Amino acid sequence: MDKKGIFLLIVIGTLSFSSCRQSDEDTKEKARIALKEVMRMDKSGIDVDNDSLIRTAFFWYDCHENDTLYARCQYYMGKYYMLNDSLERAADCLNKSANMARQRKDTATLCLALDKLSKVVRQNDPNKAVDIANESYRLYSDFSAARETNKVYSLLCLSEAMSYANDIDSAIIMGKKAADLALTINEKVALSDAYQDLSNHYGEKGDWKLALVYAKKASKASSSLSTSNPQPPS
């Protein structure tokens, strides 16, 4: 955690702590400060793995479904559980996040939750993961505030889900689509990631020649970075 996060934890510690079902402003403010800090850290590329911050936020928001930040808090708690190998708990939080975001027509949060949910379920239910990733990509493609870099990662999420479902040909098609978009917008980090995924997919197919070709392309793109590190859907 950076210095700002540590300072905010100290500030939060000075606020009174009461039952999550109480609506006192002190507890609500404590949760809001913690969640805003989690969001700031996430956007800065710092893993959401701080137990104190996210649990402080979750303690309050989990009991307040009508709050506008409920879906976003459930998303970050789900992401926290993913980072700590608690996939069942992660799925529960991400489902809650997606359901509320869908009700509120919060496309940004909905796509974030679906993206992570697809990754959580793909080992045990790869076909469901494909459906979830497909919905996320479709919604994000039509989202007016969508970032082109995140469209690349949405395609890669779908490609990876297809790979888990043993639909390697479709995975390669989506991977190439992602690579083409990354080339168009000149995002070298996203391009390197797309090429690496394509290398993996061709390896799964047993085409080691093309696997090597794309591995070299990934390495070349990575070594010629000319843009700042983009934020995949997080």
Where are the chain's structural domains? 1-106, 122-234
Q: What pLDDT does residue 232 have?
A: 52
pLDDT (tens digit, 9 = 90+) per residue, 97-115?
999 999 999 999 999 999 9
* 143 compared with 21, residue with greater pLDDT: 143
**CA proximity to 178, closest of 157, 199, 163, 204:** 157
Average pLDDT on 172-200 reads 97
pLDDT (tens digit, 9 = 90+) per residue, 124-140?
999 999 999 999 999 99
pLDDT (tens digit, 9 = 90+) per residue, 73-102?
999 999 999 988 899 999 999 999 999 999
pTM, full prediction: 0.85
Q: What pLDDT does residue 27 have?
A: 80
Which CATH code is given to the segment(s) 122-234? Answer: 1.25.40.10
